[in-house]
């Protein structure tokens, strides 16, 4: 079924639990095929049926959003600064069109919603969250002043009660109103309801000052929690601040400022010093210096010369340059990175799934125990009912799992963002969590541990051939090949190919090629091809060897060498230091070359002369060596690695030079092509997991302690509120450490 896509942003929703509810309820709408609510980035990605009306989808989602959180509403415009400076939606005319997520999806219909999104807000851009925070701070200040006056007042008890009631209404009216509205919608076990019951119960048993103080502390804690979440979101957003805002497009010898989405393949663009490169392309100017840290995490400037590929997201440092665009913005490197990272939270880690499920049962269970605590002991023991009711109210305050449902998604999203800052793209929290259990690392050779840049080193003709004739024959045989070996032969030949001389051509994966050139049957490939065709050949050379035969007679060989990456040996050392106990290499290369490279970089386990299907079988044998909880990594870069990447527990692709197929099949992409980044990814994964579990132990530990103390009458509501919002603030602040790795 064909689906349409829509991207929306949430303004005013700070509760992760509310985000989960929105996702669950929206997924049940008839028009929705798939929906993901990204709490960390306040973003909603929706896939809906093509025959559904987009306006209807928006209206239903917005209605759900407002029902779950009265202050929240949806907009199709990305906030100016996520969480801290949200763009207030503006009135849109009936025929206004909008590009819902800033990308051109090439849908047939426009993106107008045909209604106002203003929700009563002014038609201007303001800092919505900052305005809310100032208002909340003012209300808190007024309440503190009235509360302090009530504490110091020594007159009539009725006047003293009136003072506390006024303070309570000022600080608690929004909470009480939200609780009432949620009850009408059947949403009972939310934090507003629980806090309302707890504080009203305190009033009922005569604890007026404490009721006001608890509601005050709760609102202060919520304010700090909102600010902490905003801070975390802002730091995560800053990591992703690589999207170019515009492109200088060449039009009739002049340059016009346009959106990157408006530039087509083949267009010429200008990039001035200090500007971000908006699209992938080829440098037409002589040379310049580029800051690649946005993509690679490496701060060392890179020199690019005429004809070199320049990726979007680079920052031009020295000279104004002209580039020829090779990819549209939708296919550009920077856009793929943004999509990978923003969509990563859709793939939740097992820990996230556990906490989501746990939170559904935790609150009702604690509320049930609170009810039992208020009724059963007084009934059987005859103790003071108000005392047990007070203890039960403490249970209600502690029963919200916000510390967990807020901090854990932020933790995993922060880990993914921190990895991207280092040039490591992790496609989901599940892969980030799996990386911490990595035990075995398996590598492809060409383009992964070696540079993948082949160069013809030696030509050995046989049976009357000379060097030039053998090289020409090899070039024509490899003329349709995109493999690095074939490219290196064509580069060494350096003469235009006359394709009329080629009567037929057949690619033989894992072996080589079969062609008819000038009427002669030519074979070019590895020794397996010679063996298959029963050609007598000589194999006494080092490197990657291309053997050739003409009409069944061996014509000679061409030796091609591939340079080992400077980073490869260091990568093996780093992997062992982070707990990888076994490293293996799988290659289609010959035994002599494979063993030589493995020895130089420190790999003991080598499988060579492998066809693509044999790589999968060899990899599955290696997987048997892992412990039940252990994970096996495979790192590759070529299209022939895609099956193994898909089979691995964690597939890692070399992203800069790697094929699109490998990147699509992989779970992690290394943008710098440095194998040592894998160890960095594992370190980030372990640190993220450490912080996440710190929050889990801390949150549940404090809540459990306060519940136990409260049940025995040894805790008060102040401590209960700390166990709720105080713990949530600390957990969120702890989670923000991850993004600063």
- If 0-12 CB within 10 Å is exposed, 13-18 middle and 19+ buried, where does residue 500 land? exposed
What would the mean pLDDT of 56-83 be, rounded to a whole number? Answer: 76
What would the mean pLDDT of 384-409 be, rounded to a whole number? Answer: 82
CA 581 vs CA 376, 587, 673, 674: distances in Å: 57, 20, 22, 20
What would the mean pLDDT of 54-69 be, rounded to a whole number? Answer: 86
Would you say residue 115 has pLDDT above 50?
no
What would the mean pLDDT of 456-469 be, rounded to a whole number? Answer: 91
What pLDDT is attached to residue 101? 37
What pLDDT is attached to residue 234? 66
| Global pTM exceeds 0.85 | no
| Of the listed ranges 120-129, 214-223, 256-265, 371-380, the one predicted with least confidence | 120-129
Between 571 and 364, whose confidence is greater? 571
Per-residue pLDDT tens for 670-682?
Answer: 877 889 999 999 9
What pLDDT is attached to residue 654? 83
Under the banding of pLDDT at 50, 70 and 90, the label for residue 13 is: low
In total, the chain counts a number of residues equal to: 741
How far is residue 252's CA from residue 189's CA, in Å, rounded to a whole number? 64
Per-residue pLDDT tens for 226-244?
Answer: 776 676 666 656 655 677 8
Scan for tokens 């104004």, then name that residue.
320
Judge contact between 424 and 668, C-beta under 8 A. Answer: yes
What would the mean pLDDT of 215-229 be, rounded to a whole number? Answer: 78
What would the mean pLDDT of 631-639 be, rounded to a whole number? Answer: 85
Under the banding of pLDDT at 50, 70 and 90, the label for residue 1 is: low
Would you say residue 733 has pLDDT above 60?
yes
Q: Which of 76, 280, 444, 724 is catalytic?
A: 444
Is 157 one of the catalytic residues? no
Burial 376-394 (b: 16+ CB within 10 A, else e): ebbeeeeeeeeebbbbbbb
What would the mean pLDDT of 40-61 be, rounded to a whole number? Answer: 84
What pLDDT is attached to residue 535? 93
Give the fold, CATH level 3, of 128-244+332-449+565-741. Answer: Rossmann fold (3.40.50)
What would the mean pLDDT of 5-31 be, rounded to a whole number? Answer: 79
Under the banding of pLDDT at 50, 70 and 90, the label for residue 82 is: very low
Nearest by Cα to 700 from 720, 723, 721: 723
Would you say residue 697 has pLDDT above 90?
yes
Would you say residue 129 has pLDDT above 60?
no
Under the banding of pLDDT at 50, 70 and 90, the label for residue 294 is: confident
Judge contact between 106 and 37, C-beta under 8 A. Answer: no
Would you say residue 636 has pLDDT above 50?
yes
Nearest by Cα to 81 from 130, 122, 25: 130
Between 243 and 461, whose confidence is greater? 461
What pLDDT is attached to residue 459? 93
Would you say residue 490 has pLDDT above 50?
yes
**Mean pLDDT, the chain, whole residue set:** 82
Between 180 and 580, whose confidence is greater? 580
| Of the listed ranges 13-17, 244-248, 301-305, 400-404, the one predicted with least confidence | 13-17
How far is residue 497's CA from residue 640's CA, in Å, rounded to a whole number? 27
What pLDDT is attached to residue 257? 93
What pLDDT is attached to residue 95? 35
Give the fold, CATH level 3, of 451-563. Answer: Calcium-transporting ATPase, cytoplasmic domain N (3.40.1110)
Q: Indicate the CATH number of 264-327 among 1.20.1050.10, 2.102.10.10, 3.30.70.20, 2.70.150.10.
A: 2.70.150.10
Burial 311-348 (b: 16+ CB within 10 A, else e): bbbbbbeeeebebbbebbbeebbbbbbbebbbebbbbb
Q: Report the percent of the chain where pLDDT is more than 90.
A: 33
Would you say residue 473 has pLDDT above 90?
yes
Per-residue pLDDT tens for 516-553?
Answer: 999 999 999 998 899 999 999 988 777 788 999 999 99
What pLDDT is attached to residue 439? 95
Would you say residue 658 has pLDDT above 50?
no
SS3 of residue 519 by DSSP? coil
CATH number of 3-78+89-124: 3.30.70.100
Strand partners, 708: none
Between 50 and 125, whose confidence is greater? 50
What is the dihedral sign for C-alpha 733, 735, 740, 741? positive
What would the mean pLDDT of 129-150 be, rounded to a whole number? Answer: 85
| Of the listed ranges 111-115, 287-291, 528-532, 627-631, the one predicted with least confidence | 111-115
Between 701 and 740, whose confidence is greater? 701
What pLDDT is attached to residue 238? 62
What are the boundaries of each domain within the chain?
A: 3-78+89-124, 128-244+332-449+565-741, 264-327, 451-563
What would the mean pLDDT of 22-39 be, rounded to a whole number? Answer: 84
What pLDDT is attached to residue 602? 93
What pLDDT is attached to residue 236? 58
């Amino acid at each position: 079924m064909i689906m349409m896509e829509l991207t929306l942003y949430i303004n005013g929703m700070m509760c992760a639990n509310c985000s989960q509810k929105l996702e669950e309820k929206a997924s049940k709408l008839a028009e929705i095929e798939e929906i993901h609510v990204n709490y960390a980035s306040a973003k909603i990605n929706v896939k809906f049926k093509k025959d559904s009306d987009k306006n209807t989808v928006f209206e239903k989602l917005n209605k759900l959003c407002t029902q779950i959180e009265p202050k929240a509403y949806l907009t199709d415009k990305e906030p100016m600064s996520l969480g801290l400076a949200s763009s207030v939606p503006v009135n849109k005319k009936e025929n206004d069109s909008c590009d819902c997520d800033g990308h051109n999806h090439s849908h047939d219909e426009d993106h107008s919603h045909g209604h106002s999104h203003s929700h009563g807000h002014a038609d201007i851009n303001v800092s919505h969250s900052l305005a809310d925070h100032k208002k909340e701070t003012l209300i808190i200040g007024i309440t503190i002043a009235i509360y302090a006056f009530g504490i110091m007042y020594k007159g009539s008890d009725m006047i003293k009660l009136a003072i506390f009631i006024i303070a309570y209404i000022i600080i608690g009216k929004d909470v009480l109103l939200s609780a009432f509205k949620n009850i009408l919608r059947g949403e009972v076990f939310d934090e507003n309801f629980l806090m309302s019951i707890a504080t009203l119960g305190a009033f009922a048993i005569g604890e007026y000052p404490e009721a006001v103080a608890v509601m005050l502390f709760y609102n202060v804690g919520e304010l700090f929690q909102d600010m902490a979440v905003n801070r975390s979101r802002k730091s995560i957003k800053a990591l992703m601040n690589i999207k170019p805002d515009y492109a200088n497009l060449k039009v009739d010898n002049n340059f016009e400022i346009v959106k990157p989405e408006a530039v087509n393949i083949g267009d010429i663009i200008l990039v001035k010093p200090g500007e971000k490169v908006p699209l992938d392309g080829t440098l037409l100017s002589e040379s310049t210096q580029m800051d690649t840290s946005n993509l690679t995490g490496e701060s060392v400037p890179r020199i690019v010369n005429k004809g070199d590929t320049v990726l979007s997201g680079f920052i031009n440092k020295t000279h104004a340059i002209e580039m020829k665009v090779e990819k549209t913005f939708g296919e550009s490197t920077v856009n793929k990175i943004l999509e990978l990272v923003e969509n990563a939270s859709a793939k939740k880690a097992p820990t996230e799934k556990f906490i989501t499920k746990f939170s559904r049962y935790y609150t009702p269970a604690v509320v049930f125990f609170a009810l039992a605590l208020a009724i059963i002991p007084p009934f059987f023991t005859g103790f003071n009912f108000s005392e047990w009711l007070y203890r039960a109210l403490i249970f209600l305050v502690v029963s919200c799992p916000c510390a967990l449902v807020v901090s854990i998604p932020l933790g995993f999203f922060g880990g993914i963002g921190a990895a991207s800052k280092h040039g490591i793209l992790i496609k989901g929290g599940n892969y980030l969590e799996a990386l911490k259990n990595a035990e075995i690392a398996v590598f492809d050779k060409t383009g992964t541990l070696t540079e993948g840049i082949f160069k013809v080193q030696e030509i050995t003709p046989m049976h009357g051939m000379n060097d030039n004739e053998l090289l020409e024959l090899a070039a024509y045989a490899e003329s349709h090949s995109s493999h690095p070996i074939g490219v290196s032969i064509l580069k060494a030949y350096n003469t235009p190919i006359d394709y009329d001389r080629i009567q037929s051509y057949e690619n033989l994966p894992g072996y080589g090629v079969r062609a008819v050139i000038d009427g002669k049957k030519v074979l070019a490939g590895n020794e397996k091809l010679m063996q298959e065709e029963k050609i007598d050949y000589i194999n006494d050379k080092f490197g990657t060897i291309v053997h050739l035969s003409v009409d069944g007679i061996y014509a000679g060989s061409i030796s091609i060498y591939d340079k080992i990456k400077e980073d490869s040996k260091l990568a093996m050392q780093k992997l062992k230091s982070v707990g990888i106990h076994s490293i293996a290499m799988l290659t289609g290369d010959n035994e002599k070359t494979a063993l030589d490279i493995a020895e130089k970089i420190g790999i003991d386990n080598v499988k060579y002369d492998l066809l693509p299907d044999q790589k999968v079988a060899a990899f599955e044998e290696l997987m048997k060596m892992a412990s039940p909880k252990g994970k096996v990594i495979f790192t590759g870069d070529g299209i022939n690695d895609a099956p193994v990447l898909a089979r691995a527990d964690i597939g890692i692709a070399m992203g800069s030079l790697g094929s699109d197929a490998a990147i699509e099949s992989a779970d992690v992409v290394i943008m710098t092509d440095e194998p040592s980044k894998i160890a960095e990814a594992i370190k980030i994964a372990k640190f993220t997991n450490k912080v996440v579990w710190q929050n889990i132990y801390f949150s549940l530990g404090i809540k459990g302690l306060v519940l136990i103390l409260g049940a025995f009458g040894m805790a008060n509501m102040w401590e209960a509120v700390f166990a709720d919002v105080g713990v949530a603030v600390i957990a969120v602040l702890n989670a923000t450490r991850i993004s600063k790795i």
